Structure 1
Amino acid sequence: MLSAFMGFIEEGDEVIIFEPFFDQYISNIEMPGGKIVYVPLHPPPKGATQNSSAGEWTIDFSELEAAISPKTKMIVLNTPHNPVGKVFSKDELLKIGELCVKNNIIILSDEVYDRLYYVPFTRIATLSPEIESLTLTVGSAGKNFYATGWRVGWLIGPPHLIEYVAAAHTRICYSSVSPLQEAAAVGFEQADANGFWQSAVKEMRGKVDRFNEIWKELDLPFSDPEGGYFVLVNMKKVNLPADYPFPDHVKNRPRDFKLSWFLIQEVGVAAIPPTEFYTDDNAHIGEDWLRFAVCKEDAVLESAKERLRGLKKYISN
């Protein structure tokens, strides 16, 4: 992705990103002098009171269109989405693609969780020849095979886009580690031959469902993911003690940082505060949510569920 940004973004070019976002996008865009324009995903209207689907986090397309200017060079899409777990629908992708065709905007589609989805998954590049000609699709062996330290990735796109990415890539890392590339290639062959993708989806969906039992028990609303292995849980009903001794680096941060610290200290379960994936202006959208990762051994998930029962005394009904 850095190669894609370096290949196309020049000083003053604008890049549209949906909030919440994977935090590494930001530095990658700013390094070549790009300016980021943020468009929020809006959470489910009743997300604080009832369970919802990650698909209910939506784009306001009037906001998206208003974010486009003559300086807009690129839009970054992430599906399945981290941290929300949303899989963008075909209709949503078509609207985004048509806006990009109309305004000649490059689409950088981050699809690193492209093998882990529980609803129909569409690649934006497949929707039309016009959209395909503007799209670079990102993939990751590290994500596909749950070996994130590998950092073996790839970009798929038309030659008139790839040539600039390749030129930038040569100057960033010169070449990739070929034994890991070979291993990734063999991994794909073996995964196809042995039904790995289907079994991984079944296993991870099972972990999601198993873990979400605790939220039903605690009556805390959650956003059921459509892809990936993250669950967003709404903690609005959790009452933090007014005099709780939060450290300085936490007490002036949004509520989700306090919730995250409190859970670690009092319950022994770690979660990510989603406002880390937001700008300050839109942090209020995510401050009642926490992100939990279910890509753990079942015994760890069961232990976490047992510990989370310790939240009962802090929950108001």
Structure 2
Amino acid sequence: MQSLRRLVLSTASIGRSPTRLSRSKTLPNPHSQALRLFSASAMVKDPFKPAARVAGQRQDVWSIVNEAAQASPVQPIVNMGQGFFGYNPPEFVLDAAREAIGKVECNQYSPTKGRPRLKKAIANAYSPYFGRTLDPDTEVTITTGANEGMLSAFMGFLEQGDEVIVFEPFFDQYISNIEMPGGKVVYVPLHPPKDGATKTTSAGEWSLDLKEFENAITERTRMVVINSPHNPIGKVFTKEELQSIGDICVKHNIIILSDEVYDRLYYVPFTRMATLSPEIARLTLTVGSAGKNFYATGWRVGYLIGPEHLIKYVSAAHTRICYSSVSPLQEATAVAFEQADAHNFWEDSKKEMKAKVDLFNQVWDELGLPYSEPEGGYFVLVNLAKVQLPEDYDFPPHVASRPRDFKLSWFCIKELGVAAIPPTEFFTDANAHIVEDWLRFAVCKDDAVLEQAKQRLRGLKKYIK
């Protein structure tokens, strides 16, 4: 106890002058001082401990595939993994960007809700589809990419414990975007064609069980996310399917976040959710992407369209997340929308992308491997159940512990030099078995790259049984 008393007295003396200490009428109680020291020590937290929302996450698919591609002995890698374009936007879009960079006002902050010219251009471009004139000031907001736009929508409406229904497979960013503001994800699966593993089928044959969907709705359900054209399936939901989903949402008063970022790339009739009825439109936020539309994913220019009573809260959240989006690229995107029809851009881009899909899929027809024929977008799901991987192949632990599609992806990267994405990343663990024999390929590449990919993928022939 004498040692403890000396320690406490010594500690109490630090920083005090001897004169001041000597004039003190009462020395501090050594027992209470020691308890305070020990208590403060116990309360100190590790400053480097991550928040629960990011702690314990397993390595994401993007880093696994990219790191494997960099280390592959087969170089250069043909990257058909991430959905970025292998070519530039058209020249009229690039010219608009070059001109915008030279304008003083385009190099400063834009209004938080977006540059007026871009909002007007988007309102003009979409009004014909909505069957009425959209108000650019109250029904359109610009975001830093479609992904940040969706995050803003969730941030604008979700409270702790609110539920959001997501159809799986899903774009993986949905999940973290919902959970960040405290939302809970409720998964409802899309069901694959029964014979999709044995023969080529249409992506449209993936189906939603409406009873499963409605049974997933609870008193905490606040929103539902639908993606059409769909990533990764390539399904374009029919008008009848969307009407049924929309009617259920109206019945339960649920906000619909309609992810339509591939809305200019459809090869079958395409319906926009918000155009089905005034009741459905009242609940619908439509998500768009200039990056997807104009081959410029790195520009990070997205937008949301919706009624004022919804869009104003998305705008408010967006302002707090990143304040405003990149000014010169907003201006260039406005010009792109204004001039697209004059260049016949929309029809040309659709025809060109469908041609790329058909060109690439020739190799699967050659190899006798079934695939899901996309109805929209630029992703192809291919079934590789017939491919037998060598039993003694040395997969690293972080791949060996994942479903078979991760091993297929790793094998194609290392042995063939072709990168593709394992789609179980877009499923919950419980339903990952649905696509563990599939890989997702992005065909938004130059034709020469697609031909090179086909040539390398023919190397699978010796592994097909």
Relative to the length of structure 2, the TM-score reads 0.67
Whole-Å separation in 2 of the counterparts to 1:213 and 1:28? 37
> C-alpha displacement at 1:217, in angstroms?
0.3
CA distance in 1: counterparts of 2:233 and 2:250, whole angstroms:
26
Give the structure 2 partner of residue 49 of structure 1.
Answer: 198
- In the alignment, which of 128, 141, 157 is matched to residue 277 of structure 2? 128
Structure 2 residue identity aligned to 1:50? K
Of 277-286 and 133-142, more deviation after overlay is shown by 277-286
Aligned partners of 1:19 and 1:146: how far apart in 2? 26
- Percent identical among aligned pairs is 77
The equivalent position to 1:14 in structure 2, one of 134, 145, 163, is 163
Structure 1 segment 69-84 matched on structure 2, within 5 A = 69-84=218-233
Distance 2:293 2:401 in 1: 37
Query: How far apart are 1:5 and its partner, in Å?
Result: 0.3
Residue 175 of structure 1 deviates from its aligned partner by 1.4
Deviation at 1:307, TM superposition (A): 0.7
Q: For residues 89-238 of structure 1, what are the structure 2 equivalents within 5 Å?
A: 89-238=238-387
Q: Residue by residue, what CA displacement relative to the aligned partner does 1:265-315 show, whole Å, maximum 9, x if unpaired?
A: 111111100001111111111111100111111111111111111101111
Residue 292 of structure 1 aligns to a residue in which SS?
strand
Residue aligning to 2:121: none
3-state SS of 1:194 partner: coil
| 2:433 corresponds to 1:315 | no
Larger gyration radius, structure 1 or structure 2 = 2
Shift of 1:96: 0.4
Corresponding residue for residue 264 of structure 1: 413
Deviations 1:54-93 (A, max 9, x none): 1011111111111111100000011111111111100110
Whole-Å separation in 1 of the counterparts to 2:443 and 2:300: 21
Q: Distance in 1 between matches of 2:296 and 2:348?
A: 17
Query: Which ranges in structure 1 are unaligned for 5 or more consecutive residues?
Result: none
Higher RCO (C-alpha under 8 Å, 6+ residues apart): 2
Q: CA-to-partner distance for each residue in 1:109-164, whole Å, 9 max, x for gaps? A: 00011000000000010000000000000011011011101111111001111111
Note if 1:65 corresponds to 2:214: yes
1:303 aligned onto 2:452: yes
Distance, in Å, in 1 between the alignment partners of 2:172 and 2:385 is 24
The residue identity in structure 2 corresponding to 1:6 is M
Say yes or no: does 1:85 pair with 2:205.
no
- How does the TM-score come out when normalised to structure 1? 0.99
Alignment of 1:243-262 (within 5 A): 243-262=392-411
The Cα shift of 1:263 comes to 0.8
How many residues get paired?
Answer: 316
- Distance (whole Å) between structure 2 residues aligned to residue 149 and residue 233 of structure 1: 27
> Which residue of 2 is the match for residue 293 of structure 1?
442
Specify the alignment match of 1:40 in structure 2: 189
Whether 1:28 aligns to 2:28 is no
Q: Deviations over 1:92-116 (max 9, x none)?
A: 1001000000000000000011000
In 2, Cα distance between equivalents of 1:139 and 1:56: 25
Query: 1:230: Cα distance to partner?
Result: 0.5
Match of 2:91 in 1: none
2:203 is matched by which residue type in structure 1?
A: A
In structure 1, distance between residues paired with 2:352 and 2:306: 31
User: 2 CA distance for matches of 1:222 and 1:238?
Assistant: 14
Tell me the residue number matched to 2:12. Answer: none
Deviation at 1:204, TM superposition (A): 0.7
Letter in structure 1 aligned against 2:230: H
Give the counterpart letter for 1:238 in structure 2: V
Q: 1:279 aligns with which of 412, 428, 433?
A: 428
- What is the CA distance between 1:178 and its match in structure 2? 2.1
**Corresponding letter in the other structure for 2:164:** V
Stretches (4+) displaced over 4 A: none
